Chain A
Amino acid sequence: MKRLRPRNWDLAWGAASVFVVLALWELAVRALSIRPLLLPAPTSILAEIGSDWIWYLQQAWYTLVVTLLGFVCAVVVGVLVAMLMVNSRLFEKITYPLVVATNSVPKVALAPLFVIWLGTDLKPKVAIAFLLAIFPVIVDTVHGFRSVPQDIVDLGKVLRSSPAAFFFKVSIPCALPSIFAGSKVAISLSLVGAIVGEFVSSQRGLGNVILSAQGVFDTPRVFAAIVMLVVMSMLTFGVLAWLEHHFTSWRRKH
């Protein structure tokens, strides 16, 4: 109970500061009569969303699907790669330079290539989201698996644990906090990847909304799409944080 109160206060402070910034924004736009083409007021952005909210939701849904597909693939493949790297020296020696090299490529620059390779439907966007998201998953998961204490590893050997039992009973739970840390970075990057994918080639999604609205100088619509993205980003991150809270509750027991 003691913990709850400061948390709620933190939340209240956060909400208050956001509200103040929005109010100042609104006031500034009205007082200085800034044209909506340059900077629309928060209320007119909300009005823009309200005028066609079903359409906005449809666009958001498309982007969300791309983001989640890229994210889930990144987590599954990333954890598998990390597992192999930790368990096989040879695999690590072969893949580690590859991972470092691929990670140094500005992945956004590859987006047009994916369109050539994979066409213009969902696939190239998911591929970019995946590529952006997988690296933090690999890095953090490897770190997590390596954090299994040596004594526990020895105990597993002395008791002749089956590799599967050791993996599921020790390695995974031990790495779980790190996997979540990596996933939280990955979900944000996956969204970035989805938007970039839509920028490059798309008829749908919030990335496409932004690009086409910019083309006709419909600034309120650009902002409306950005607001949708912010909400989506917060929601996905929140779900992950909740899962983390749920699955690593032992960390808070003192």
Chain B
Amino acid sequence: MSLPSVVARDVQKVYSGDRDVLALEKVSLNIGNGEFVSILGPSGCGKSTFLRCVAGLESITDGELFVEGRKVVGPPDHVGMVFQRDALLDWRTIEENIYLPIEFKGKARADYREKAKQLLKLTGLSDFADRYPRQLSGGMRQRASICRALIDDPALLMMDEPFGALDAFTRDQMNVELQRIWMKTRNTVMFVTHGITEAVFLADRVVVFAPRPGRIIETLEITLPRPRPLDIRASAEFGRYCSRIRELFQDMGIMKEENAA
């Protein structure tokens, strides 16, 4: 495997206050170039905090963090970000929204017209380039915000529960779409989610976080062949990954059997 895209060594994050809260404890993780990694865990496990640290939005208290070989002190170069809510600007058309990162960096829109067209085509939004966000469905808007994140070819794409606000059907659809898009672009992806199925379906590797303190408890290689169809979720192998993760959460006391209590 080539040079790792993200390297975390013993990353600690403490929120100081009346009582200090240990949000991340000794998180160590390498994410390879072009690898799709799901960061999975229940809420409050520090998975989003870890993502925000990698994105340079929050500082770490201890340990070391590198993105593309550079120590993270602020937001790194060439990253893209997708949030749970699409965070599109209402007053811009879909195409204009996609150019936002370009404009932030003071570059010319004209140089990215082709790229924008390609991305719109890739995500099936070509006919909606001139629409406004509120004219589109939630799934379409999230696809637009993926386009926005990809417009400047980020080395690392960070997704913070990107499909968490979508209904189950749209969510399945988006999982398939994201896999298809990723197989074309092959960016390194950090995909934060609390959905076990979604995490396994998409990832090359699932990193499982547990709360209090936020830490990694397990890393699973997912060796299912790609492209993965939705019904792969009914396969025995897929089921084994999911039950392994559920067991972990049960051992942690995060998930309980109804009659065990």
Binding site for B on A (CB under 8 A): 149, 151-152, 154-162, 165-166, 169-170, 173-174, 176, 248, 250-251, 253-254
Q: Is there contact, CB below 8 Å, between A169 and B100?
A: yes
Collect the chain A residues with CB atoms within 8 Å of residue B103's CB: 165, 169
15 contacts between A and B (CB under 8 A): A149-B85, A149-B87, A152-B87, A154-B57, A155-B83, A155-B87, A155-B101, A158-B56, A158-B75, A159-B75, A159-B104, A160-B105, A165-B106, A248-B91, A254-B135
A-B contact count (CB 8 A): 64
Q: How far is the CA of A160 from the CA of B103 in the complex (A)?
A: 11
Quote the shortest CB–CB distance from A179 to chain B (angstroms). 13
- With A166-B104, A174-B89 given, can you name 5 additional A-B contacts, CB distance below 8 Å? A152-B87, A158-B56, A159-B75, A160-B105, A165-B104
Q: Is B90 an interface residue (CB 8 A)?
A: yes
Q: Determine if A160 and B134 form an interchain contact, defined as CB atoms under 8 angstroms apart.
A: no
B249 at the interface (CB under 8 A from A): no
A138 shortest CB reach to chain B, Å:
23
Given A162-B106, A253-B132, A253-B135, are A152 and B75 also a contact pair (CB < 8 Å)? no
- Contact of A158 with B91 at beta-carbon distance under 8 Å, contacts A165-B103, A165-B106, A254-B134 already known: no
B119-132 contact mask (Cβ, 8 Å, vs A): 1 or 0 = 00000000000001
Q: Which of A157, A165, A170, A251 contacts B89 (CB 8 A)?
A: A170
* Structural contact, A151 and B135, CB atoms closer than 8 A: no
Binary interface encoding of chain B residues 94-127 relative to chain A, with 1 for a CB under 8 A from any of its CBs, else 0: 0000001101111000000000000000000000
B81 at interface by CB-CB < 8 Å: yes
> Taking the nearest CB of chain A, how far is it from the CB of B51, in angstroms?
11
A96 smallest CB distance to B (angstroms): 25
Q: Establish whether residues B57 and A157, one from each chain, have CB atoms under 8 Å apart when the complex forms.
A: yes
Instruction: Assess A169 versus B104: contact at CB under 8 Å? Given A157-B57, A253-B134.
Output: yes
**Residue B55, interface by CB 8 Å:** yes
Cβ–Cβ < 8 Å partners of A154 in chain B? 55, 57, 81, 83
In Å, the complex CA distance between A155 and B79 comes to: 10
Write out the residue numbers on chain A whose beta carbons fall within 8 Å of the beta carbon of B104: 156, 159-162, 165-166, 169
User: Judging by beta carbons under 8 Å apart, are B81 and A155 in contact?
Assistant: yes
Find chain B residues with CB under 8 A from A166 CB: 104
* Chain A hits for B135, CB < 8 A: 253-254
Report the bound CA distance from A222 to B89 in whole Å: 50
Specify which chain B residues have a CB less than 8 angstroms from the CB of A174 in the assembled complex. Answer: 89
Report the separation of the CA atoms of residues A7 and B75 in the bound assembly, to the nearest whole angstrom: 50
Q: Say yes or no: B105 contacts A250, CB within 8 Å.
A: no
Q: Are B75 and A250 interface neighbours, CB within 8 A?
A: no
Contact A251–B105 (Cβ < 8 Å): no
Point out the residues of chain B lying under 8 angstroms from A157, CB to CB.
56-57, 75
- With A and B bound together, what is the CA distance between A105 and B135 in angstroms? 46
Contact of A158 among B55, B85, B92, B106 (CB under 8 A): B55
Residues of B46-93 whose CB lies within 8 A of A: 55-57, 74-75, 79, 81, 83, 85, 87, 89-92
**Contact residues in A for B79 (Cβ distance below 8 Å):** 158
List of A residues within 8 angstroms of B100 by Cβ: 155, 169
Query: How many angstroms between the C-alpha atoms of A154 and B158 in the bound complex?
Result: 12
Mark contacts of B130-168 with chain A using CB atoms, 8 A cut-off: 1 yes-contact digit, 0 otherwise: 001011000000000000000000000010000000000
Q: How far is the CB of A60 from chain B (nearest CB, A)?
A: 36
